[in-house]
Chain A
Protein backbone atom coordinates (compact mmCIF):
# COMPACT_ATOMS: atom_id res chain seq x y z
CA UNK A 1 0.00 0.00 0.00
CA UNK A 2 0.96 3.61 -0.41
CA UNK A 3 2.65 5.61 2.33
CA UNK A 4 0.54 6.06 5.49
CA UNK A 5 -1.40 9.34 5.64
CA UNK A 6 -1.26 11.25 8.94
CA UNK A 7 -3.73 13.78 10.34
CA UNK A 8 -1.01 16.44 10.17
CA UNK A 9 -0.65 15.84 6.39
CA UNK A 10 -4.10 17.15 5.50
CA UNK A 11 -5.73 20.58 5.58
CA UNK A 12 -9.23 21.82 4.78
CA UNK A 13 -9.60 21.68 0.96
CA UNK A 14 -6.92 18.94 0.64
CA UNK A 15 -7.86 16.55 -2.14
CA UNK A 16 -8.60 12.87 -1.54
CA UNK A 17 -6.52 10.96 -4.13
CA UNK A 18 -8.98 10.43 -7.03
CA UNK A 19 -9.89 6.88 -8.04
CA UNK A 20 -10.99 6.01 -11.61
CA UNK A 21 -13.52 3.24 -12.27
CA UNK A 22 -15.00 1.72 -15.41
CA UNK A 23 -18.41 0.11 -14.90
CA UNK A 24 -19.20 -2.63 -17.42
CA UNK A 25 -22.09 -5.03 -17.85
CA UNK A 26 -19.59 -7.73 -16.87
CA UNK A 27 -18.82 -5.92 -13.62
CA UNK A 28 -22.59 -5.77 -12.92
CA UNK A 29 -22.75 -9.55 -13.21
CA UNK A 30 -19.68 -10.05 -10.99
CA UNK A 31 -21.12 -7.65 -8.44
CA UNK A 32 -24.48 -9.42 -8.50
CA UNK A 33 -22.69 -12.69 -7.69
CA UNK A 34 -20.46 -11.16 -5.00
CA UNK A 35 -23.17 -9.12 -3.29
CA UNK A 36 -26.07 -11.53 -3.77
CA UNK A 37 -28.17 -8.76 -5.34
CA UNK A 38 -29.75 -10.47 -8.35
CA UNK A 39 -32.22 -7.72 -9.20
CA UNK A 40 -32.56 -7.98 -13.02
CA UNK A 41 -32.64 -4.17 -13.13
CA UNK A 42 -28.85 -4.42 -13.38
CA UNK A 43 -28.46 -6.90 -16.25
CA UNK A 44 -31.77 -7.47 -18.09
CA UNK A 45 -32.66 -4.94 -20.83
CA UNK A 46 -36.40 -5.63 -21.00
CA UNK A 47 -36.80 -5.62 -17.23
CA UNK A 48 -34.91 -2.31 -16.91
CA UNK A 49 -37.04 -0.81 -19.69
CA UNK A 50 -40.28 -1.92 -18.03
CA UNK A 51 -39.10 -0.56 -14.65
CA UNK A 52 -38.75 2.87 -16.20
CA UNK A 53 -34.97 3.31 -16.00
CA UNK A 54 -34.29 2.74 -19.72
CA UNK A 55 -31.37 0.33 -19.63
CA UNK A 56 -29.69 -1.71 -16.89
CA UNK A 57 -28.09 0.62 -14.34
CA UNK A 58 -25.04 0.41 -12.10
CA UNK A 59 -25.90 -0.90 -8.62
CA UNK A 60 -26.02 1.84 -5.98
CA UNK A 61 -24.17 -0.47 -3.60
CA UNK A 62 -21.34 -0.84 -6.12
CA UNK A 63 -20.94 2.93 -6.37
CA UNK A 64 -20.90 2.96 -2.58
CA UNK A 65 -18.16 0.30 -2.67
CA UNK A 66 -16.12 2.51 -5.03
CA UNK A 67 -16.46 5.45 -2.65
CA UNK A 68 -15.49 3.27 0.30
CA UNK A 69 -12.39 2.17 -1.65
CA UNK A 70 -11.63 5.84 -2.39
CA UNK A 71 -11.52 6.42 1.36
CA UNK A 72 -9.77 3.22 2.49
CA UNK A 73 -7.05 3.72 -0.17
CA UNK A 74 -6.52 7.29 0.99
CA UNK A 75 -6.52 6.73 4.78
CA UNK A 76 -4.26 3.68 4.60
CA UNK A 77 -4.08 0.72 6.97
CA UNK A 78 -3.89 2.90 10.08
CA UNK A 79 -6.84 5.08 9.20
CA UNK A 80 -10.40 4.18 10.21
CA UNK A 81 -13.61 4.97 8.40
CA UNK A 82 -16.04 6.13 11.09
CA UNK A 83 -19.05 7.46 9.19
CA UNK A 84 -20.08 7.28 5.59
CA UNK A 85 -23.15 8.36 3.68
CA UNK A 86 -24.04 8.63 0.01
CA UNK A 87 -27.10 9.26 -2.12
CA UNK A 88 -27.79 7.62 -5.46
CA UNK A 89 -29.08 10.76 -7.18
CA UNK A 90 -28.73 9.84 -10.84
CA UNK A 91 -28.53 6.63 -12.83
CA UNK A 92 -25.25 5.40 -14.29
CA UNK A 93 -25.20 3.10 -17.30
CA UNK A 94 -22.32 0.61 -17.61
CA UNK A 95 -20.25 0.14 -20.76
CA UNK A 96 -21.00 -2.93 -22.86
CA UNK A 97 -18.34 -5.57 -23.52
CA UNK A 98 -16.32 -5.73 -26.76
CA UNK A 99 -14.50 -8.98 -25.97
CA UNK A 100 -14.74 -11.42 -23.08
CA UNK A 101 -12.48 -9.17 -21.02
CA UNK A 102 -12.47 -5.73 -22.67
CA UNK A 103 -15.21 -3.11 -22.59
CA UNK A 104 -16.14 -0.83 -25.47
CA UNK A 105 -14.82 2.71 -25.43
CA UNK A 106 -16.94 4.98 -23.29
CA UNK A 107 -17.44 6.56 -19.96
CA UNK A 108 -14.96 6.49 -17.08
CA UNK A 109 -16.22 7.35 -13.60
CA UNK A 110 -14.05 9.26 -11.13
CA UNK A 111 -14.42 8.96 -7.39
CA UNK A 112 -13.29 12.22 -5.84
CA UNK A 113 -13.24 13.93 -2.49
CA UNK A 114 -11.97 16.87 -0.51
CA UNK A 115 -11.47 17.70 3.13
CA UNK A 116 -14.15 19.97 4.63
CA UNK A 117 -13.20 19.87 8.33
CA UNK A 118 -10.25 18.81 10.48
CA UNK A 119 -10.69 18.46 14.27
CA UNK A 120 -9.94 16.50 17.44
CA UNK A 121 -12.62 14.86 19.58
CA UNK A 122 -11.47 13.07 22.72
CA UNK A 123 -8.40 11.14 21.57
CA UNK A 124 -9.56 10.88 17.95
CA UNK A 125 -7.96 12.90 15.17
CA UNK A 126 -10.80 13.35 12.71
CA UNK A 127 -11.30 14.58 9.17
CA UNK A 128 -14.62 15.16 7.38
CA UNK A 129 -14.73 14.87 3.60
CA UNK A 130 -17.16 15.61 0.85
CA UNK A 131 -17.02 12.80 -1.68
CA UNK A 132 -18.75 11.73 -4.85
CA UNK A 133 -18.80 9.63 -8.01
CA UNK A 134 -18.53 11.75 -11.14
CA UNK A 135 -19.75 10.41 -14.49
CA UNK A 136 -18.05 10.94 -17.87
CA UNK A 137 -19.76 14.33 -18.27
CA UNK A 138 -18.38 15.53 -14.95
CA UNK A 139 -21.76 15.32 -13.20
CA UNK A 140 -21.79 14.00 -9.63
CA UNK A 141 -24.32 11.16 -9.71
CA UNK A 142 -23.52 9.85 -6.22
CA UNK A 143 -22.63 12.57 -3.70
CA UNK A 144 -21.69 11.69 -0.16
CA UNK A 145 -19.78 12.47 3.01
CA UNK A 146 -17.24 10.56 5.09
CA UNK A 147 -15.66 10.99 8.51
CA UNK A 148 -12.32 9.28 9.10
CA UNK A 149 -9.93 8.86 12.01
CA UNK A 150 -6.30 9.34 11.01
CA UNK A 151 -3.20 8.48 13.00
CA UNK A 152 -1.40 11.51 14.45
CA UNK A 153 2.33 12.12 14.67
CA UNK A 154 1.45 13.38 18.15
Chain B
Protein backbone atom coordinates (compact mmCIF):
# COMPACT_ATOMS: atom_id res chain seq x y z
CA UNK B 1 0.00 0.00 0.00
CA UNK B 2 1.48 3.31 -1.06
CA UNK B 3 1.31 5.85 1.72
CA UNK B 4 2.13 9.51 1.65
CA UNK B 5 5.60 10.38 2.91
CA UNK B 6 5.69 11.45 6.55
CA UNK B 7 8.61 13.80 6.30
CA UNK B 8 7.84 16.98 4.42
CA UNK B 9 10.03 19.76 3.05
CA UNK B 10 8.55 21.98 5.78
CA UNK B 11 10.04 19.62 8.39
CA UNK B 12 13.40 19.18 6.64
CA UNK B 13 13.87 22.96 6.53
CA UNK B 14 13.95 22.95 10.35
CA UNK B 15 17.16 20.88 10.55
CA UNK B 16 19.79 22.98 12.31
CA UNK B 17 17.25 24.75 14.53
CA UNK B 18 18.50 25.36 18.06
CA UNK B 19 16.52 25.67 21.26
CA UNK B 20 16.71 28.48 23.76
CA UNK B 21 19.15 27.91 26.62
CA UNK B 22 17.63 26.17 29.61
CA UNK B 23 19.12 26.53 33.07
CA UNK B 24 18.75 23.95 35.84
CA UNK B 25 20.16 24.09 39.32
CA UNK B 26 20.99 20.60 40.51
CA UNK B 27 19.20 20.82 43.85
CA UNK B 28 19.25 18.06 46.45
CA UNK B 29 15.48 17.67 46.21
CA UNK B 30 15.61 17.20 42.42
CA UNK B 31 18.18 14.42 42.83
CA UNK B 32 16.18 12.83 45.67
CA UNK B 33 12.95 12.63 43.65
CA UNK B 34 14.88 11.29 40.68
CA UNK B 35 16.73 8.46 42.45
CA UNK B 36 13.63 7.52 44.47
CA UNK B 37 11.69 7.03 41.23
CA UNK B 38 14.51 4.85 39.83
CA UNK B 39 14.80 3.03 43.21
CA UNK B 40 18.54 3.67 43.20
CA UNK B 41 19.76 3.66 46.83
CA UNK B 42 23.40 4.68 46.08
CA UNK B 43 24.46 6.85 49.08
CA UNK B 44 26.61 9.03 46.80
CA UNK B 45 23.39 10.71 45.58
CA UNK B 46 21.71 11.31 48.95
CA UNK B 47 23.83 10.64 52.05
CA UNK B 48 25.86 13.75 52.73
CA UNK B 49 27.98 12.20 55.47
CA UNK B 50 28.88 9.30 53.21
CA UNK B 51 29.51 11.48 50.14
CA UNK B 52 31.89 13.77 52.04
CA UNK B 53 34.27 10.83 52.57
CA UNK B 54 34.40 9.85 48.89
CA UNK B 55 36.89 11.15 46.31
CA UNK B 56 34.28 13.78 45.34
CA UNK B 57 33.95 15.20 48.83
CA UNK B 58 30.21 15.84 48.44
CA UNK B 59 26.89 14.77 46.97
CA UNK B 60 26.82 13.93 43.27
CA UNK B 61 24.08 13.61 40.65
CA UNK B 62 23.54 10.40 38.65
CA UNK B 63 25.12 10.84 35.17
CA UNK B 64 21.77 10.83 33.35
CA UNK B 65 19.90 13.23 35.64
CA UNK B 66 20.59 16.25 33.47
CA UNK B 67 19.38 14.99 30.16
CA UNK B 68 16.28 13.50 31.75
CA UNK B 69 15.19 16.37 33.95
CA UNK B 70 16.09 19.11 31.50
CA UNK B 71 14.36 17.35 28.59
CA UNK B 72 11.33 16.61 30.79
CA UNK B 73 11.00 20.23 31.81
CA UNK B 74 10.31 20.97 28.15
CA UNK B 75 13.14 23.41 27.79
CA UNK B 76 16.46 23.01 26.08
CA UNK B 77 14.90 20.92 23.37
CA UNK B 78 13.57 21.35 19.90
CA UNK B 79 10.41 19.94 18.42
CA UNK B 80 9.68 19.50 14.76
CA UNK B 81 6.77 21.74 13.82
CA UNK B 82 4.39 20.23 11.34
CA UNK B 83 1.02 21.03 9.85
CA UNK B 84 0.15 17.31 9.69
CA UNK B 85 -0.22 15.80 13.17
CA UNK B 86 1.32 12.39 13.82
CA UNK B 87 -0.57 9.61 15.56
CA UNK B 88 1.99 8.49 18.06
CA UNK B 89 5.61 8.50 19.03
CA UNK B 90 8.15 6.84 21.31
CA UNK B 91 11.76 7.32 22.36
CA UNK B 92 14.13 5.49 20.04
CA UNK B 93 17.49 5.64 21.75
CA UNK B 94 20.10 7.75 23.46
CA UNK B 95 23.82 8.22 23.12
CA UNK B 96 25.54 10.01 25.99
CA UNK B 97 29.07 11.26 26.45
CA UNK B 98 30.08 12.37 29.91
CA UNK B 99 33.03 14.69 30.35
CA UNK B 100 32.72 15.97 33.92
CA UNK B 101 30.95 14.64 37.00
CA UNK B 102 27.93 16.72 38.04
CA UNK B 103 27.71 17.82 41.66
CA UNK B 104 24.70 18.76 43.68
CA UNK B 105 24.75 22.58 43.58
CA UNK B 106 26.00 22.83 39.99
CA UNK B 107 24.07 25.12 37.65
CA UNK B 108 23.69 23.52 34.25
CA UNK B 109 22.81 25.28 31.01
CA UNK B 110 21.67 23.18 28.10
CA UNK B 111 20.96 23.82 24.46
CA UNK B 112 19.47 21.38 21.97
CA UNK B 113 19.88 21.27 18.19
CA UNK B 114 17.79 19.40 15.64
CA UNK B 115 20.48 17.58 13.67
CA UNK B 116 18.59 15.20 11.41
CA UNK B 117 15.20 13.89 10.28
CA UNK B 118 14.93 10.56 8.47
CA UNK B 119 12.07 8.52 7.18
CA UNK B 120 12.26 4.74 7.31
CA UNK B 121 9.81 2.02 6.39
CA UNK B 122 9.47 -0.73 8.99
CA UNK B 123 9.19 -4.48 8.35
CA UNK B 124 5.41 -4.14 8.58
CA UNK B 125 5.43 -1.46 5.88
CA UNK B 126 4.68 1.38 8.30
CA UNK B 127 6.46 4.65 7.65
CA UNK B 128 8.25 6.07 10.64
CA UNK B 129 9.99 9.36 11.19
CA UNK B 130 13.28 9.40 13.11
CA UNK B 131 14.18 12.72 14.69
CA UNK B 132 17.70 13.20 16.01
CA UNK B 133 18.42 15.94 18.53
CA UNK B 134 21.79 16.72 20.10
CA UNK B 135 21.93 18.47 23.44
CA UNK B 136 25.00 20.01 25.05
CA UNK B 137 25.18 20.60 28.80
CA UNK B 138 27.57 23.13 30.37
CA UNK B 139 28.23 23.83 34.03
CA UNK B 140 28.60 27.22 35.75
CA UNK B 141 32.29 27.31 34.76
CA UNK B 142 31.34 26.99 31.09
CA UNK B 143 32.75 23.45 30.88
CA UNK B 144 30.86 20.95 28.72
CA UNK B 145 29.81 18.26 31.19
CA UNK B 146 27.83 16.06 28.82
CA UNK B 147 26.32 15.67 25.38
CA UNK B 148 23.26 13.60 24.52
CA UNK B 149 22.28 12.46 21.03
CA UNK B 150 18.72 11.33 21.25
CA UNK B 151 16.50 9.69 18.65
CA UNK B 152 12.72 9.76 18.75
CA UNK B 153 10.42 7.81 16.48
CA UNK B 154 6.97 8.93 15.42
CA UNK B 155 4.27 7.76 13.02
Q: Which residues of A come within 8 Å of B, CB atoms?
A: 1, 21, 27, 30-31, 33-38, 41, 50-53, 57, 59-62, 64-66, 68-69, 72-73, 77-78, 80-88, 91
Contacts and interface: CB of A to CB of B under 8 A. Distances in A.
Interface residues of B, number: 36
Contact of A41 (B63, B69, B74, B90): B90
The 8 A-B pairs of least Cβ separation, nearest first, read A36-B72, A51-B88, A60-B91, A87-B93, A34-B37, A35-B72, A30-B37, A85-B95
B62 interface: yes
Nearest to A52: B88
Contact of A68 (B36, B64, B101): B64
A1 B93 contact: no
Interface stretch (B3-11, B40-48, B106-114, B134-142): B40-48
B42 A65 contact: no
Contacts, number: 119
Contacts of A87: 92-93
Given A68-B63, A80-B101, A85 B74 contact: no
B80 interface: no
30 contacts: A1-B42, A27-B39, A31-B38, A33-B33, A34-B34, A35-B34, A35-B37, A35-B71, A36-B69, A37-B71, A52-B155, A53-B88, A60-B91, A60-B93, A61-B72, A64-B64, A64-B94, A69-B38, A72-B40, A78-B54, A78-B55, A82-B97, A82-B98, A83-B96, A84-B95, A84-B96, A84-B98, A85-B96, A87-B92, A87-B93
B121 interface: no
B87 interface: yes
A48 to B, nearest CB: 9
